[in-house]
Each structure stands twice: as structure tokens, then as C-alpha cells.
Structure 1
Amino acid sequence: MSEPSPTQRLLDATDIERSVATVLPGRRVVTSAPLSGGGFATVWSARLDDGADVVLKVAPRDDVRLLRYERDLIAAEGRYLRRLAAEAPEVRVPRVLHASPDLLVTERLPGRNLFEVQSGPAPVDDAPVRAAFGAELARVHRLTGDRFGYDAGRTSASTWSAAFLAMIDDLLDDAAEWQVETPAPAGRIRDLIVRHAGLLDSVRRPALLHFDGWDGNLLVADGRLTGFVDGERFLYGDPLLDFTSAALFRRIEDEPEHPFLQGYGGVRLDAPVLRRLSLYRLHLYLLMTVEMPSRRITREAQPDRYERLAELLDGELTELARPVPAPV
């Protein structure tokens, strides 16, 4: 078993019982167990004495170093889920039972995550699952924020280009502080973002985004999508940003028949869209590189991860150095 991330608290069943008794008075834990798969919060499942299955997400301790964008993530997920419950109740996300800066308690949706299912001895046909997730995100993206970027006083701006550049700057500052070697100098990365400001500002509406829709956050039962989880990294911006994790480590535009695209509908893969997708993959791969030491992942221990991300980043940097296509 791999060593937990420094951001994850070491808890036991007694801690879970105490938390449930405090925030859900009158309800008692019958059984509980930690859930694996994530690298930020500590996550446990519990069955209560009334038969309900719940999930508890516990924030890192106050003295743990975090990346800049990771501030207030547990409370952020509570806000995300509650907004969807209020304004898009048909979207299949967990119902919030308790939300505070340190602890989120939700119902547990049925199913196993798609990554586990596809890693098993009898993987399922995942096309219906991916198409259903595309349709779900299309509904989420109809909701709009007041600003681009993160909410509640975190990194944001009145334009998408300014917010996106600020998000990149946060990651580059984190890289410097954590002494992470990036595949290109910070100045070059930043200059490429600035060059594309006009293209980014063709996005005029700050859509509600999930950002972390990789297979590990899609729940599946009997070959169908039962919901999606881990909205803690949500932000407002270009809907295309959500297309990167939906085809992690791949270029979704190379798969025009990808079921996610079919489920989402109405996507025109023209030159400006392809360039924005490249920008968003740059952001994602940079984040995944910069977060390594904060998760106690060393380049020496996982050279394949670092080298793979470096190769992917280099490919996007090469693409972004080409002439900028005109917005349409």
C-alpha cells in the first residue's frame, strides 16, 4: 500500500463515529472504512444505523502546506454540490448532509468508479457511461458564475484570459516554492498564455465547471453512470476545460466519435477550439507536475509519471508556439 499524501489526515473508525455524532445528531455509525483513490482529502465511507450509506471528506490539517488553488477545497465542494441540487437537481451528484470548511458529509451514490471497473478482469463497454457523463456536464455548464476562475475570494478575474493567466501564475509560483522542475521556463509558459489572451477572451460566459472528470470520479453500476463525484476543484470558465480530464492523457479532438463528445453535443472542433484545448491540457499537465512533492511523489520514485507529463507538456508547448488562430 502506498504511503498517504501529507495532505491526508490519519483517522480511525472512532474518529468517524465522533464526526457523525457531532454533525448528524441522533445517527450512529454501524460500520466504516477508508476509501482509496484520492490524493488530497481523507475520505471514508460509513453505514449508519438507519441504513443510510454516507461519505465523509476531511480537510487537511491547518499546518499542512497546500498548493495555492487548494485553499478551502472541502467547503468549495459543498457549495458546488448545493448549487447543483438547487439549480440542476436532475444532475446525478451526491446530496449534501453537512458541509463546513473541515468536513463534508454526503450520501454515497451506488456503484464503483469507472477506473476500477475498467481495471478489473471483465471491463465493461464504457461508451454509454462516457456519453451520459457528457450529457450531465452539458447541463452543469448551463449554470453561470459572476466571475471567471474560483469563487469565494480565491483566484478570479472579470475576463477568462486574466483568470486563466492568474491560475497559471499560481502554479508557476507553487513550482518555484516547491522546487519543481518544469519542462519549460516559467517565463516561456507565461508568455504563451499571454499570446492567446484574445482567443481566451472569446469565452464571454463563466460556465460552472467540474474540472476533475477523470474515470476515477465517474460511478458505474450495471454498465450505466450512477453519478459523478469530487467537485472540490470546481471553477467558472470555458466549458472546454472540462474536456481535458474526460480524455485524460489523450487529445479528444483526435477522437471525433468519442462518446463524451457525442453525449455532450454541439461541439465544433475548429482551429480556435483546438488551440484552447491545448491551453487547457497545458494547465492540467502543469498542475499534475507541480503537485507531485505536495503529495510526497518524488521524481526518483515515479520517474515514469514525471517523464510522461514532461513529454505531454512539451507537445502542448510546441503546439502553442504556432501562430495563434483567429477567434470566431
Structure 2
Amino acid sequence: MTLPRILDSAGLSAATTTPLGGGTYNSVYRVSAAEGEFVLKIAPEHQQGLTYEQRLVSTEATFCRLASKVAPVPEVVHTDDATYLLATFLPGEPVFGRDVDRPLIRRQLGDAVRAMHEITGPGFGYPQLGLHGTWTEAFLGMYGAVLADAERFGVRLPTADLTRHTKAFDEVDMPALVHFDLWDGNILADTGLSGLVDGERAFWGDPVAEFVSLALFGTIEDDPDFLPAYGFEFTDSARVRLAAYQAYLYSIMLTERVPRGSSDEAFERVITDALTRALGVLA
């Protein structure tokens, strides 16, 4: 559906659009209309991506419908649950690269993420791909899929045998709503936390998986503000699971560089080093 037809079907009047940067999969626009300010995401018609990159608009719509009840997340305004999503525009700017009151924002973030993780689902995994009865089955399948994607795109990845750690994964018995992309670019703030955006990569799974992007290339245990506000204490098995989720995300980041045409060798080394550290924990 074309941009004018989407805006018309949403019932917006006198609408104007401005492309927004930062999107790596969908096309993203800010929409200004008589009815208010919105964000519109339109899925690509033909883009070769990773296995899980299917119907991401549907996943984000599901995430927003649920998480907006308990956290500063955009509300769904209009969607076909397949190709586009119109959502409310949240105030603030991404905290990435900004001089902000970080301790305050991290404490508020801990509260918001804990509330989000209290939302539970009917099964484990990516909702757009079909759910599993156990987290162990779901996550081993997710990790296996990205390894298959890497082979398909000719990316050589160091890997780990995660089946050695199934007891740790078996401890997860409740499918929590996990955003899985909460790096500083997707956290908005003005005088305090004002938004968690871009929930298109969400899944039902282990809340510990959230801690990867929340401390990208580092460790959440070094954050003196987030964890106390969230209310979590690490165990040895949780550290093993965190390392596995780090290995998963960093494998995704290295693999997706090929279909996206990225050529930043310095950034690739940063990702590779982080992946190597995570695999060292799993060895």
C-alpha cells in the first residue's frame, strides 16, 4: 500500500510526512496531521534478511499493544498487522551520545523494563514464526537459525555448543515479553525517561536476554542504577544464559552486515571481540 493510501486509511487529515533516520529494516516516517503527531513504519517489499526478519511490523504491533499498558511505549493507532504500523509519537530524543541524567534514566528504565517483563505470553520464541513449549527449544532454534543465516550469507562465525547448557535454559519456565533491542538509540528521554521504541525484534522468552542490549558490548552487572531498580541478582546459571544471549545478538549483528551492505571494519572488530568474550564464558 502506498504512503498516501495508508494515511487515508488511518483517517488522518492534512497529513505531512518526514523520513526519520535510524531504521535498519523498515522505512520510518514522522507524520504530522490535524489529529496529532505519529510515527509510521512500512515494511520493505523485497529485502533479503535473516530468518527471523519476517512480519516484523506484526511483532512490533503486538509489542506496542501489550507494553504500552505498563511502560512508555508507543500506542498502536492503525495497522494491517503485516506491512505497516502507525503509532503515537513519543516526546524526547534518543539518549545515545547525549549528556543526560543517566543515573535517573537508568533507574526509571529498570522500573519500566521490570513492568514490561511481567507481561507473559502463550509460548516461547518469536510470535511471527510460531511459538514453542519450552524456552530451551525456542532459543536453541533461534541460535541455530542465525548460524544457518551466517552460512547462507557466507559469514564465518565462531560458535558455541549451547546444548551443554540446557539445564540453565530449562530454568526459564515463564515466557516474558522481551524487547531485545534496548540500546541507547531506542531509549528516549527529555527530563527523564520518555520512551522505549522499535520493538520489532521482540520475543517471548527469558528476561535476562534483555540485559544484552541494555549494556551493549559490556555487562549489565557494571550498571549501579539499572539492576537495583529492576530488582535482579545474578546467579551462575543466569550468567551462562546472558553469555548465550550475547553470543546470539552479536552473531546476528555480524551476519546482518552482509544483506545490509555494511563495510565498517572497525565496528565489525568491536562486535567480534564482544562475541569472543561471550563464547569464552560458554566454553
Alignment of 1:181-196 (within 5 A): 181-182=156-157, 184=158, 188-189=159-160, 191=161, 193-196=162-165
Q: Which residue of 2 aligns with 1:59?
A: 43
Q: Which residue of 2 aligns with 1:42?
A: 27
The whole-number CA distance in structure 2 between the counterparts of 1:196 and 1:157 is 18
Q: Which residue of 1 aligns with 2:79?
A: 99
Is the contact made by 1:16 and 1:32 (CA closer than 8 Å) also made in structure 2? no
Shift of 1:53: 0.5
Alignment equivalent of 1:220, drawn from 189, 192, 195: 189
Other structure's SS at 1:137 match: helix
Normalised to the residue count of structure 2, the TM-score between the two structures is: 0.95
Shift of 1:55: 0.5
Shift of 1:201: 0.5
1:165 aligns with 2:140: yes
The whole-number CA distance in structure 1 between the counterparts of 2:92 and 2:3 is 22
Alignment equivalent of 2:11, drawn from 11, 16, 25: 25
Other structure's SS at 2:52 match: helix
Alignment equivalent of 1:270, drawn from 225, 228, 235: 235
* AA aligned opposite 2:85: L
* AA aligned opposite 1:137: V
Shift of 1:33: 1.1
Mark the structure with the bigger radius of gyration: 1
The whole-number CA distance in structure 1 between the counterparts of 2:41 and 2:130 is 23
Q: Which residue of 2 aligns with 1:12?
A: none
Shift of 1:26: 5.1
1:285 aligns with 2:250: yes
Other structure's SS at 1:104 match: strand
The whole-number CA distance in structure 1 between the counterparts of 2:18 and 2:282 is 45
Change (3 A) 1:302 1:236: same
Shift of 1:307: 1.4
Q: Which residue of 2 aligns with 1:247?
A: 215
* AA aligned opposite 2:131: S
* AA aligned opposite 1:229: V
* AA aligned opposite 1:150: Y
* AA aligned opposite 1:25: G
Once the two structures are superposed, residues 43-64 of structure 1 have per-residue CA deviations (whole angstroms, 9 ceiling, x without a partner) of 01011023x0110000011x32
Shift of 1:226: 0.9
Shift of 1:19: 2.5
Other structure's SS at 1:143 match: coil
* AA aligned opposite 2:241: R
**Paired residues, number:** 282
Shift of 1:28: 2.5
Q: Which residue of 2 aligns with 1:231?
A: 199
Change (3 A) 1:17 1:239: same
The whole-number CA distance in structure 2 between the counterparts of 1:296 and 1:236 is 29
Q: Percent identity?
A: 34
Is the contact made by 2:30 and 2:39 (CA closer than 8 Å) also made in structure 1? yes
Other structure's SS at 1:318 match: helix
Alignment of 1:54-203 (within 5 A): 54-61=38-45, 63-85=46-68, 89-100=69-80, 101-116=82-97, 118=98, 123-152=99-128, 154=129, 156-182=131-157, 184=158, 188-189=159-160, 191=161, 193-203=162-172
* Structure 1: unaligned runs, 5 residues or longer: 1-14, 322-328
* AA aligned opposite 1:108: F
Shift of 1:168: 0.5
Is the contact made by 2:12 and 2:34 (CA closer than 8 Å) also made in structure 1? no
Is the contact made by 1:140 and 1:208 (CA closer than 8 Å) also made in structure 2? yes
The whole-number CA distance in structure 1 between the counterparts of 2:180 and 2:125 is 11
Once the two structures are superposed, residues 194-251 of structure 1 have per-residue CA deviations (whole angstroms, 9 ceiling, x without a partner) of 10011110111111111111111111112x0111111111111110000111111101
* RMSD of aligned residue pairs (Cα, Å): 1.7
Shift of 1:155: 5.0
